[in-house]
Structure 1
Amino acid sequence: MIEVGQKAPQLKIATSDGETVDLAAPGAPLVLYFYPKDDTPGCTREAVDFTTLTEEFRKAGAKIVGVSRDPMARHVKFATKYGLKVALASDEDGRVSDAFGTWGEKSLYGRKYMGMARATFLIGSDGIVKRVWPKVKVAGHAEEVLAAVRELAA
């Protein structure tokens, strides 16, 4: 997994709001959060929590992008269903999650499978990773990330 102090990968991702984000040179602080699947309980709660704080992130100068391997059409449906204000990016080919190290073996009830780790990266405007949350617990996470963004801006 990418660590604090490393340069973000030289990748660009298209988002559900029609933008393309250059991860290595975002131009403003970027909260890049990886989540397993649209419209599942934990992922929905996380997206709603970030949406609730969207204006606060904007005031702090940061953009939020959620990444999963769901297709863009599913992202649009998910965002519409819950009124999400965060941009979502589709990583169907896995290049972004592979580059950040968030795709790997998981285990559920003794069954092993490949899946997305719930992780968040705060990337500075210079493309350097400033904070990493490798094993996210959804409750309170958006608030913790917002505090880090504010700290970075200060």
Structure 2
Amino acid sequence: MGDKKMKIAVINETSAADKNADVLAALEGRGHDIINAGMTSSGGDPEMTYIHTGLLSAMLLNLGKVDLVVGGCGSGQGYLNSALQYPNVACGLIQTPLDAWLFGQINGGNCISLALLVGYGWAGDINLKFIFDRLFSLPEFGKGFPPHREESQQASRRTL
């Protein structure tokens, strides 16, 4: 979202808790307010699953405490499905910088789910930085793409 300062919650669950530092590092220096609301290391107590982190994400978004939630789990699928059960949560599974750009450009959501174990591998921390580079490069979320589909995509987003 370009130059807009955002309040962002990072919410890691138990299987991906050890990637919390990587997510925080990838968000560092971007001028946003970061709330680290989930698990910060594996084996923590209380142990949060993606069921818990999806609910916490929805609560923070619906209470207006944050503008964006960055969550995920091992594959990103469990957290995605959990978060999407709640009203006013528009979550996308983001695995690549192109996913991030398309999600922001077309879907204009307020929640992203990262796969923090499956396919994370070598240079996974660098991929996270690239993901956030593309996500935050957009002047506004939900504009639509390609240009001739902007109006249709904006209408679809409002319908959802």
TM-score, normalised relative to structure 2: 0.32
Q: Could you say which structure has the higher strand fraction?
A: 1
Q: Could you say which structure has the higher helix fraction?
A: 2
Greater RCO, 1 or 2 (C-alpha within 8 Å, sep 6+) = 1
